[in-house]
Structure 1
Amino acid sequence: MLDDVDRRILRQWQADPSLAPAELAERARVSVGQLARRQAKLRDAGVVKGVAAVIDWAMLGYAVEVSLRVTLDKTQGNAFDDFMTEARLVPEVIEIQTFLGRVDVRLSVIARDMSHYQHLYRSRILTLPHIADIEALMHVARIKSDLALPL
């Protein structure tokens, strides 16, 4: 279980992952050595999976985001596995989620423009195996997108 010191470290670390160890230790009110040991423990335990740069894909020219709700043909024995294997190979698919219920999978797809999206949809998405039904939801606005957890 996490104690108050771990939570303090995580709070400060997720607020600004670019902090130098000395600055992070000061903000978390621990020594640099204690910080290093706690960070290693948090990584080893799988609490911290990694520290990454979050890139705004719109700044790189991707202006379209579409959420695709996919229902698979579950009469096929390996429908999920086959679909997931192939969907992972599409670079513009930036997220894959699975669900219980009418919708089996949600794909988040980015494209440079509508023409690019149409091409992706026809050549890469509709060719994915075992699709029984697909619904496209065009992204209009992101109201909240917060990767930070309440610690």
Structure 2
Amino acid sequence: MKDPSAGEIDRIDRNILRALQRDGRLSNADLAKAVNVSPATCHRRTQRLIAAGRIRNVRAEVDPEAVGLGTLVMVGVVLDRSTPESFAAFEDAVAGMKELLDCHLVAGDFDYLLKIRVRDLGDFNRLHSRMLIALPGVRQIRSFFVMKQVKENAPLAF
């Protein structure tokens, strides 16, 4: 069995990670039972996974509808220049947008793909006219309203 602190993760670590992806609220005792190790071993390994950055965060998954953010919009952004400076300026500007869930630099038709949650179409229209078109270096924005979420935030398969 390899030492997980050496870079590779072993079967037990994988099982811990998989179990926590399914339910991040598991107590250490329940997690240890699920992965068939002692609670002390489980706690030590979980702490090591956190310290190594393999577990970035544990948080609640809030139902967007329940908090009035039922509209999901994917936004493709094309910048007017493809330079490190224009990318940095854009990324700095979007970092503070509370409506922005995800921002990815992508290859293909867009430079960035944004995932945005808002209350409704009017809310998005205000965001678009107030913030999106004012972002630095933006040449084109294409918005796609999500009709149905088929699969979202699935656990990593490893």
1:125-140 map, 5 Å: 125-140=132-147
1:91-102 map, 5 Å: 91-102=98-109
Pair 1:75–1:38, CA change in 2 (3 A): closer
Matched, 1:22 2:29: yes
Higher mean alpha-carbon deviation, 26-35 vs 50-59, is at 50-59
* C-alpha deviation, 1:76, in angstroms: 6.3
TM-score norm. by structure 2 comes to 0.88
* C-alpha deviation, 1:106, in angstroms: 0.8
8 A Cα contact 1:76 1:130, kept in partner = no
Identity %: 27
Q: How far apart, CA to CA, are the structure 2 residues paired with 1:3 and 1:76?
A: 41
Q: How far apart, CA to CA, are the structure 2 residues paired with 1:137 and 1:111?
A: 13
Matched, 1:37 2:44: yes
* C-alpha deviation, 1:95, in angstroms: 1.0
Amino acid at match of 1:35: C
Give the count of matched residue pairs.
Answer: 151
Amino acid at match of 2:71: V
Q: How far apart, CA to CA, are the structure 1 residues paired with 2:151 and 2:66?
A: 18
Amino acid at match of 1:20: S
Note the residue ranges of structure 2 that are not aligned, 5 or more in a row: 1-7
Tell which has more relative contact order, 1 or 2 (C-alpha 8 A, sep 6+): 1
In the TM superposition, structure 1's runs of 4+ consecutive aligned residues that sit over 6 Å from their partners are: none
* C-alpha deviation, 1:14, in angstroms: 1.8
